[in-house]
Amino acid sequence: MTTSARLPRAAVIAASVLATVATLSAVPTAYAESSATDATVATGLPLGDQDLAETRTSETLAKGVTLTKIVRGTEPAPPDQINTTTRGPWVINVLTIDPREAKGRLKATYGPDLAKVEKTSDLVRTSGALAGVNASFFTFTASVLYPGDPVGLGIFDGKLLSEPLTDPAEANLLIDANSNKVLTGHLRWSGEVQNRDTGAELPLEFVNHPPVIPTACAELPDQTTCAEPGDVVLFTPEFAAATPAGHGIEVVLDRRGCVVRTATTRGTSLTAGQTSLQATGKDTVALQDVVANGCLTKDIKVSDQNGEEVPLRNGLYGVTGRYQLTSGGEIVVPDGTGSFFDRNPRTIAGTTRDGKILLATIDGRQTTSVGTTMDETAAVADALGMHDAINLDGGGSTAMARQDGTLVNHPSGTGGAERSVGDAIVFVPGR
């Protein structure tokens, strides 16, 4: 993919998912020792045959934070039966955080910039976290230059750095790091810029995402002569070392929203406090008209699925998944997703009825852990007590790591190789 053309985000998420299929600071001494216990239970997770043996091993990482490993089934699966066997095995790792007892903050994090990819283990280690899991779907192989670009919602410390999709299959996890409260659902957004002097307005199509170059405009020397609709995109310094280059125009604004410079081609570096607006196709004319002779006000709003506004304030984080698994204690996976890419590794996030936060990984595509379909994933979330839960990025992206960067699970890459991802959800200890 080049910077002069891109897939629409709804198409990019499909490319991301298909690509997925193809391929701490010191723990306090009082809690450093494992409190592991093994127990074979007669009944357990609703996976496979009822007579399967299931063991659970739990370890206290810190007060209010536990890590549980569940192994269901004892015999390795024949390689040709991974998608069909009823004998497993399945390996699930569950990180449980009780906000009433745990000292620290749950948050989302990414690497040096939004568009790069980093391993989950590195994101956990460099953020000083106790543990964490991979999070959002991201462009991955659909974008060579910006592989970490989230495909959907990305809120980091109160800043909307990537807008939610209109696709109803998108499911979002919203984290208030100040209270460690977590909500799931599907957020919406609206964005526009307005000239403070003239009142002229222009809607935004995207935040931190390369704009489309209309095919009919690609060969024109000046896109202001192109009659095809393009995109208007807001870029922030968090996106990358430079904004996407190519046909179109770009207007750089200072922290007050006043024009610093205007260029007839796209691609520039932004300093702290600056933002830029890029436009392609006939939207280049509309952007030029709006920025003429004045400063701009940016109006960006986020609302929940009930239409209630979600204030963008410090400590708010949001990541993007695909499909709500449970809602209000009921399994809500829509019809037609039961065999969603067959059995695969999965990453799940959710909350219990009493407010505990659960982050879980299910290893898959291996004879030692076959993975789950979407129906099976929802059943696991429900059995673990997740009153509300969503499916995060999975496949080769599924990873859970702890404080020193060591992996808890076994990724599905060759030899257990860990994939680099766009962002992660981590629990950072402290007051």
The predicted pLDDT at position 1 comes to 27
pLDDT at 33 over 50: no
Provide the token pair at 17: 């998912």
The predicted pLDDT at position 140 comes to 87
Mean pLDDT, rounded, for 145-154: 96
The residue that leads in pLDDT, 218 or 304, is 304
Alpha-carbon gap, residue 369 to 342, rounded angstroms: 14
pLDDT at 125 over 50: yes
The predicted pLDDT at position 338 comes to 72
What is the domain partition of the chain in residue ranges? Answer: 9-184+308-429, 190-300
Rounded to the nearest integer, the mean pLDDT of the chain is 89
DSSP sequence for 284-319: HHHHHHHHTTSBEEEEEEEE-TTS-B----TTEEEE
The strand pairing partners of 108, in sequence order, are 425
Q: What phi, psi does 166 have (nearest 5°)?
A: -85, -15
The predicted pLDDT at position 19 comes to 41
pLDDT at 31 over 90: no
Question: What are the pLDDT digits (tens) for 338-391?
Answer: 766 799 999 999 999 999 999 999 999 999 999 999 999 999 999 999 999 999
CA dihedral angle for residue 296, residue 108, residue 136, residue 126, rounded to 10 degrees: 110
Question: What are the pLDDT digits (tens) for 296-347?
Answer: 999 999 999 899 999 999 999 999 999 999 999 999 998 777 766 799 999 9
The predicted pLDDT at position 224 comes to 67
pLDDT tier, 230 (very low <50, low <70, confident <90, very high otherwise): confident
The predicted pLDDT at position 40 comes to 35
Distance, CA of 316 to chain centre: 14
Alpha-carbon gap, residue 97 to 361, rounded angstroms: 15
pLDDT at 397 over 50: yes
pLDDT at 7 over 70: no
pLDDT at 406 over 60: yes
- How far, in Å, are 33, 75, 113, 134, 204 from residue 39 at the CA level? 19, 18, 44, 29, 55
Alpha-carbon gap, residue 170 to 137, rounded angstroms: 10
Alpha-carbon gap, residue 252 to 134, rounded angstroms: 33
pLDDT at 190 over 90: yes
The residue that leads in pLDDT, 227 or 320, is 320
The predicted pLDDT at position 336 comes to 77
The predicted pLDDT at position 28 comes to 31
pLDDT at 37 over 50: no
pLDDT at 25 over 50: no
pTM of the predicted model, to two decimals? Answer: 0.90
pLDDT tier, 59 (very low <50, low <70, confident <90, very high otherwise): very high
Q: What one-character DSSP code corresponds to residue 83?
A: T
- How far, in Å, are 108, 230, 320, 355 from residue 175 at the CA level? 8, 33, 12, 12
pLDDT tier, 61 (very low <50, low <70, confident <90, very high otherwise): very high
pLDDT at 17 over 50: no
Is the four-CA dihedral 268, 271, 272, 276 of positive or negative sign? negative
